[in-house]
Amino acid sequence: MKNEIKYEKILIPIDGSSKSIEAFEYALKFSSAYTDCQLHILYVIDEDNIEQVRSHGNESYGDLVNRYEQQGQNYLNKAFQSAKKINYNLSHIQKKIVKGNPVEEIVNYAKEFDLIIMAARGKKHIIEMMMGHVTERVLNLSNIPILIFP
């Protein structure tokens, strides 16, 4: 009897970078080999970034959260559109935005998943963590298998 690996739930954290969108597009192709595989796209609003921006500007915490939520929604929609272009079954995709430390949120959210697919590197802004740093830390802390997209 052959042991087969079956992926039913795959998590794809994105930060809006082209690499994170490419990782999601790879996940679309990868998951098509598994019947009824669910993809979850996760965007994490980094609360440390909000505090840093707030300490150097005039925007309120609530306004910054709204701005980052809108930005995250735009990134999730961009990923969703790439699935739509290839006629992927959109009912197999869920989108989620959470606030917190990106590493902790990804690791905690991933506990119910079979696999994480994420980019090796992402956005590089002064006020945003590099996804490469996040990827490395998730790799060290997660008990879930991780496929890292170059």
For the chain, give the mean pLDDT. Answer: 88
Closest to 44 (Cα-Cα) out of 115, 147, 118, 149: 118
Record the tokens describing residue 137, joined without a space.
Answer: 């830390």
Banded model confidence at residue 123, pLDDT cuts 50, 70, 90: low
Compute how many other C-beta atoms are within 10 angstroms of the C-beta atom of residue 73: 13
Average pLDDT of the segment spanning 117-127: 64
Decide if pLDDT at 126 tops 60: no
Q: Is there a domain that residue 43 lies in?
A: yes
* CATH of residue 102: 3.40.50.620
Could you tell me the strand order of the sheet in which 115-119 lies? Answer: 93-100, 38-46, 9-13, 115-119, 146-149
**Which is it for the CA torsion 110, 111, 112, 113, positive or negative?**
positive
Decide if pLDDT at 125 tops 50: no
Q: Is there a domain that residue 26 lies in?
A: yes
User: pLDDT value at position 2?
Assistant: 63
Record the tokens describing residue 85, joined without a space.
Answer: 């272009």
Query: For the chain, what is the domain count?
Result: 1
Closest to 80 (Cα-Cα) out of 96, 56, 64: 96
Q: Is there a domain that residue 94 lies in?
A: yes
Decide if pLDDT at 88 tops 80: yes
pLDDT per residue as tens digits for the range 30-75: 999 998 999 999 999 999 888 888 888 788 889 999 999 999 999 9
Q: Is there a domain that residue 4 lies in?
A: no
Q: Which residues contact 145 (CB under 8 A, 6 or more apart)?
A: 114, 115, 116
Query: Where are the alpha helices (H) located in the chain, listed in sequence order?
Result: 18-31, 47-55, 61-85, 102-109, 131-141
pLDDT per residue as tens digits for the range 11-40: 999 999 889 999 999 999 999 999 899 999
Are the C-beta atoms of residues 43 and 17 closer than 8 Å to each other?
no
Q: Is there a domain that residue 133 lies in?
A: yes
At residue 30, φ and ψ (nearest 5 deg) are -60, -45
Tell me how far apart the alpha carbons of residues 28 and 89 are, in angstroms, rounded to a whole number.
10
Decide if pLDDT at 150 tops 90: no
User: pLDDT value at position 132?
Assistant: 57
What pTM did the predictor assign? Answer: 0.88
Residue linked to tokens 């994170």: 20
Q: Is there a domain that residue 116 lies in?
A: yes
The pLDDT > 90 percentage for the chain reads: 65
Banded model confidence at residue 83, pLDDT cuts 50, 70, 90: very high
Range of the domain at 55: 9-149
Q: Is there a domain that residue 1 lies in?
A: no
